[in-house]
């Protein structure tokens, strides 16, 4: 009953970590099976192909992230500027741990597959952009409150925030470690603070 469903879930969770460690192409189906404690027969019962697993894993990763962020404390912050800064602070705090566990599966996948496995690249890319749009919505609220006349778009800022986070992961993998990544998020936070001057009682900053 839930046993069957459990194998599928175990395979997906295994994929999350194995793909982030070895990348898509270099991961063997049996690597995922071993990590999940399941055999190949079971794997191909649940997924038609390795590619299908990757698409499903991107989906699952995205759902995990949505759940995590939906329940995070920063969500309840009333002031939109502080809420946006709270998001960045959370992303910074999430940098604690080994790289394959803290980095983003979607960024890894899209980079490796965008030209050669369109289905995977598209799935991963869409989830990245969707998440960027959610952040963009927060940015829109903050912009409306702090810098309504500014000549940048909130959606663009949401994408920029995602880019900095993805870039921080690459920097960490390049040898900078999570410290360098954290420093990047500090710069990002500082940028947002400068870009969104806090509203003082009844006053609003211009662009």
Partner DNA sequence: TGATCCATACCGACTGGTCGGTATAGAAAG
Partner DNA sequence: CTTTCTATACCGACCAGTCGGTATGGATCA
Binding positions for DNA, rule: CB under 7 A = 1, 3-8, 27-30, 38-42, 44-46, 48-51
Q: Which of 115, 149, 200, 201 binds a second copy (CB under 8 A)?
A: 115
Q: 3-state SS of the chain: helix, strand, coil percent to 5?
A: 75, 0, 25
Residue 200 carries which DSSP code?
P
Q: Given the rule CB under 8 A, which of 36-44, 73-81, 86-94, 186-194 is the region that contacts a second copy?
A: 186-194
- In whole angstroms, the minimum distance from the beta carbon of 26 to a second copy comes to 4
Q: Given the rule CB under 8 A, which of 41-49, 62-70, 79-87, 172-180 is the region that contacts a second copy?
A: 172-180
DSSP class per residue in 83-151 = HHHHHHHHHHHTT-S-HHHHS-HHHHHHHHHTTT-HHHHHHHHHHHHHHHHHHHHHHHHHHHHH-TT-S
Does position 152 interact with a second copy (CB under 8 A)? The reply is yes
Q: What is the torsion angle, in degrees rounded to the nearest 10, for the CA atoms of residue 158, residue 163, residue 164 and residue 169? A: 140
- Residues interacting with a second copy, by CB under 8 A? 21-23, 25-26, 99-100, 106-108, 110-116, 121-122, 124-126, 128-129, 132, 152, 156-157, 159-160, 162-171, 173-176, 180-181, 183-184, 186-187, 190-191, 194-195
């Amino acid at each position: 009953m839930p046993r069957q469903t459990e194998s599928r879930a175990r395979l997906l969770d295994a994929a999350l970590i194995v793909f982030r460690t070895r990348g898509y192409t270099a991961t063997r189906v049996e690597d995922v099976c071993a990590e999940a404690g399941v055999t190949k027969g079971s794997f191909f019962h649940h997924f038609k192909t390795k590619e299908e697993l990757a698409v499903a894993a991107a989906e699952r990763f995205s759902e995990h992230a949505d759940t995590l962020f939906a329940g995070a404390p920063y969500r309840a912050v009333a002031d939109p500027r502080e809420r946006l800064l709270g998001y960045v602070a959370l992303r910074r705090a999430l940098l604690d741990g080994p790289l394959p566990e803290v980095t983003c599966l979607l960024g890894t996948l899209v980079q490796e597959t965008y030209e050669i496995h369109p289905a995977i690249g598209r799935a991963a890319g869409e989830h990245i952009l969707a998440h960027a749009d959610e952040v963009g919505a927060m940015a829109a609220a903050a912009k409306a409150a702090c810098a309504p006349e500014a000549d940048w778009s909130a959606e663009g800022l949401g994408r920029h925030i995602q880019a900095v986070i993805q870039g921080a992961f690459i920097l960490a993998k390049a040898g900078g470690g999570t410290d360098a990544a954290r420093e990047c998020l500090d710069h990002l936070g500082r940028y947002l603070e400068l870009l969104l001057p806090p509203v003082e009682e009844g006053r609003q900053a211009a662009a």
